[in-house]
């Protein structure tokens, strides 16, 4: 595994992956009006987090090899939505490798059932379900050291006034935080777009999520700001990030339309990332999107897209 990874780096200028050694990646790029040498192994300014397996054409399918490859390419975080479903031994290996390399880990999905009304209801069975789910999340967090979990509060109820639903969501999240806060675990609520991907969901916008987090009033209840979803739902990305920043615990990204890497759609990611950096954000930006091109060339283009977007003056 180690030798194959080193071989890739050594052969980058001589193999089919030679584009990695092209000036666009390894050569000279402009920073703050000056010319400085930056190659594909230089750490990024922000903690962009590839998903485990995102670079399988180069690193294979083994999650540890993927982590090592991403670290070599300058990434300092990873994410895996499906982490709780992995074998316990594999979770431990992933955590140990990230710790060894000093890498962060983005929120894993703890609850995201798009088919049912749940958090919007004031029912004993809902409370029992979410309490059980939170305890499961604490177990994974304590085992791995990954202390952020993603929650989608489910669908809205067409027969119940929105304000009552909001109050129920707040109450149910307080039950969650009673479990999470003593364990040092943070829930990040994800508002999703209902126009294109997830019709019928309750939580859709950043202002709505912000008001809920403020009402819950716990350090264990924050927001994951998904740049792709919010470009579709409401736009106004930088002002909303600024207004809600105290309650933002993580970011997801993907360009729109298409939900692929930066530069394939309409979002000015260089400006968005520059603003996030200016806020002294220390968390992860999960690369929750597809790749616009297939094969190794597509993975290389993906890395180049993040190099381009991360090339802002500070």
Q: Please list the active-site residues.
A: 190, 288
Strand pairing category for 34-37 and 28-31: antiparallel
Q: Where are the beta strands (DSSP E) in 59-183?
A: 77-78, 104-105, 108-112, 148-152
Q: Any idea what the Cα angle at residue 262 is, between residues 37 and 14, rounded to 5°?
A: 50
The radius of gyration computed from the CA coordinates of the chain, to the nearest angstrom, equals 20
Sequence-distant (6+) residues with CB within 8 A of 49 are 75, 77, 78, 79, 104, 105, 106, 284, 285, 286, 287
**Token digits for 144?**
């791995």
**What is the rounded CA–CA span in Å between residue 70 and residue 54?**
9
CA max distance for the chain: 64
Burial class (CB in 10 A: 0-12, 13-18, 19+), 137: buried
Query: What residues are paired with 51 via a beta bridge?
Result: 79
């Amino acid at each position: 595994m180690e030798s194959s990874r080193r071989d890739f780096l050594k052969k980058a200028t001589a193999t089919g992956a030679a584009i990695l050694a092209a000036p666009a990646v390894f050569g000279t790029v402009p920073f703050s009006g000056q010319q400085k040498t930056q190659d594909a192994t230089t750490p990024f300014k922000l903690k962009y987090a590839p998903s485990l397996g995102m670079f399988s054409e180069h690193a294979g399918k083994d999650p540890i090899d993927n982590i090592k490859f991403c670290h070599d390419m300058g990434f300092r975080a990873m994410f895996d939505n499906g982490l709780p479903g992995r074998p316990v031994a594999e979770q431990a290996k992933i955590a140990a490798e990230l710790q060894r390399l000093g890498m962060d880990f983005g929120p894993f999905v703890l609850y995201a059932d798009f088919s049912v009304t749940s958090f919007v209801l004031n029912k004993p069975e809902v409370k029992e379900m979410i309490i059980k789910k939170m305890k499961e999340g604490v177990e994974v967090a304590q085992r791995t050291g990954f202390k952020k979990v993603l929650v989608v509060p489910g669908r809205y109820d067409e027969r119940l006034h929105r304000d009552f639903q909001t109050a129920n969501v707040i109450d149910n999240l307080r039950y969650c935080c009673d479990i999470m806060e003593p364990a040092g675990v943070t829930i990040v609520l994800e508002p999703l777009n209902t126009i294109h991907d997830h019709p019928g969901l309750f939580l859709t916008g950043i202002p709505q999520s912000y008001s809920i987090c403020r009402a819950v009033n716990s350090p264990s209840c924050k927001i994951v700001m998904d740049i792709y979803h919010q470009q579709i739902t409401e736009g106004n990305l930088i002002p909303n990030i600024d207004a809600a920043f105290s309650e933002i615990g993580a970011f997801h990204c993907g360009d729109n339309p298409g939900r692929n890497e930066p530069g394939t759609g309409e979002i000015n990611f260089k400006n968005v990332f520059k603003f996030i950096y200016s806020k002294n954000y220390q968390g992860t930006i999960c690369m929750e999107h597809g790749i616009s091109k297939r094969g190794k060339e597509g993975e290389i283009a993906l890395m180049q897209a993040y190099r381009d977007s991360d090339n802002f003056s500070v």
